[in-house]
Structure 1
C-alpha cells in the first residue's frame, strides 16, 4: 500500500473484554455510549487529520460505524492500548507523522487539553513524546494524599525539569511536600497530577512498542516509565481544565459519578 504522510491522527483504543468492566466502551453515559462521547471529543480538536477507533471487537466496530466513525480492527493479540494504537496507525491508508493515544474511557478530557499536546509537537520538532499534567492545588493535593493513605493506587504524579521534560512518574505523590510545601501558603504546590494522554512521533511509537518493560515500569505498573528507562525524553505540557472536573472511568460505579459531573458542568462538546 502506498502511504503518504499526514500531520496528526488521534487513535482511540477500545477493548470490549476488560476484566474489570466488560463492554466498557459501549456503556451508556447520559444517553450516549462512552466511545461515542470520546470520539466526539477527538473530532472537536482542531488541526487533526484523522480520528480512528482501534478495536478487536465487532460489536464496538459496528457501533462506531453506526454513528459515522472510522474504525480499524486490530489483532486480538495486542497486549495493551499502546500496542493497539500502533497497529491501527500501521493500518491507516495515510501514515501519520504524529499519533495521539486517547483512551476510550477519557470521556471528560477537554478538547483543548488534547490540542495542547499536538500544539507542543508542532512547536518543537525535537519532542518525541508529549503528555499532559495539571498542577494540583492544596485541596486536590490533600484529597489525593488522603486517598493514598487509605491504600488507593489511582492517581499518578509527575516531576519535570525546566524544559518540561519528565524526570519521573509515580503512583506515590512526588515530590515529597515538607510542611505542606511552603512557608508561604500563597505559593503554588510543585505537585502535578499526570493525565494519561500521549502524543508520539510515529517512529518513536514504533521504537517504544519494541522495547522490553524495565524494572521501574514493573514496579510502578506505569507504561510511560518505559520511555524514560530507554532514554526517550517525555515532554510534559502543563494544562488547565478550565474549571472542568477530571475523572477516570475504571469501573461501572464511576459511571454515576461521571453522569453527575456532566449534569452539573454540561457536555464538553455537542453530540
Structure 2
C-alpha cells in the first residue's frame, strides 16, 4: 500500500499567525523553523512513498522549498488541514492507498506514532480513518489542566469505546477525573496526537461535507467525521520515554525547545 504524508501549513493562524515559520532551537544551538522540524519528523518515517508540504502561502512555500521539501499549493479557502490534505491528494493525482496528515505544529511526533497508525489502518480494512492517542502521565495532565485554568487552548483530549472508535474529542480535558497523580503516574486521560491517516475515499468525502456545529464550537476538524457517523479509530501509541507537545500558543515555544534539547534533537 502506497503512503503519502501531507504536512498542511497556513500562515494566517487565528491563535498564532505565522506559526509555521517560528524558529525552534534544538540541542545543537541551531534554530530551525517549525515547518522544517515537522518535515524532518515526516522524513524519519520508514516505508513512506512521498512527503509534501501543502500550503496557500508563498512565504511558507519558499521556506519549504529552501530546505528541499516538495510543495503543493492549495486554496486559501481550505477550512482546516484535512481539507488541505484532500486538495493536495487531488493535485498529486490521487494515486495513494493511505494519506497521512502530519499537522505542521507537531514537530515532536515520533516516527513510530505514524508507523503504528499506518500499520493499524492496513490491518483493519474496515476502518477508513485513524488517529493516535497517548495516555497522559500526571505531569502532562497537569500541564493540560494548567492551560485551561489560564485560559489557553492547549492540547486536545480524546475518549473512545471498547472497540477503539472515538466517542468524542475536546479541547477541554475529558474525561473528568478528580484524582491526583504523581509526575509519572498513568491517568485515564488520553492526549490526542494531531496526526490522521485516511483512506482516499473518506478524505474526499470529508471535503464535500459542510462543517457541523460541534466542529465549529470546538475548532476540531476530526469532529466532522463523527458528526457524519464515520467511525474514527483511536490507536494508542507508546511514548517510549519521549515527551510530546504541540505548538499551539506562543508560550509553547520555550516548552518545545526545552524538550528538543533534553532529547538531544539538533
Taking structure 1 as the reference length, the TM-score comes to 0.86
CA distance in 2, matches of 1:258, 1:190: 24
CA offset digits 1:191-218 (Å, max 9, x no partner): 2111121111110011112122223223
Distance across 1 between alignment mates of 2:164 and 2:256: 31
Question: For each residue in 1:75-94, what CA deviation from the matched residue of structure 2 results, as whole angstroms up to 9, or x when unmatched?
Answer: 22222222111111111145
Match of 2:83 in 1: 83
Contact 1:181 1:189 in 2 (8 A): no
Q: May I ask how many residue pairs the two structures share in their alignment?
A: 259
Q: 1:132 to 1:62 in 2, by over 3 A?
A: same
Matched with 1:173 is 173
Measure how far apart 1:238 and its partner are.
0.5
Larger radius of gyration: 1
The residue that corresponds to 2:2 in the other structure is 7
Structure 2: any 5+ residue segments left out of the alignment? 26-30
Residue of structure 2 in register with 1:74 after alignment = 74
Assess if the C-alpha contact under 8 Å between 1:137 and 1:188 holds in 2: yes
Partners of 1:166 and 1:234 within 8 A in 2 = yes
Cα shift at 1:11: 0.2
The 2-side partners of 1:188 and 1:261 are apart by 20
CA distance in 2, matches of 1:76, 1:188: 41
Which residue does 1:148 correspond to in 2? 148
Q: CA contact under 8 A between 2:2 and 2:48: conserved in structure 1? A: yes
Cα RMSD, aligned residues only: 2.3
Q: Indicate the residue corresponding to 2:220 in structure 1.
A: 222
CA change 1:112–1:29 in 2 (3 A) is same
Consecutive unaligned residues of structure 1, counting only runs of 5 or more, are: 1-5
Closer, same or farther in 2 for the Cα pair 1:260/1:230, shift >3 Å?
A: same
Q: CA deviation at 1:123?
A: 1.2
Taking the TM superposition and a 5 Å limit, the aligned residue runs for 1:165-204 are 165-178=165-178, 180=179, 188-204=186-202
Question: Pick from 238, 241, 247: which aligns with 1:240?
Answer: 238
1:18 maps onto 2:24 in alignment? no
Answer whether contact 2:155 2:245 (CA < 8 A) is retained. Answer: no
Separation in 1 of the partners of 2:262 and 2:168?
A: 35
Indicate the residue corresponding to 1:54 in structure 2.
Answer: 54
Q: Distance in 1 between matches of 2:135 and 2:262?
A: 23
CA distance 1:34–1:144, change in 2 (3 Å):
closer
Distance 2:171 2:42 in 1: 27
| In 1: Cα distance, 2:213 partner to 2:93 partner | 37
State the match for 2:129 in structure 1. Answer: 129
CA distance in 2, matches of 1:138, 1:23: 32
User: Is residue 54–residue 74 contact of structure 1 (8 Å, CA) maintained in 2?
Assistant: yes
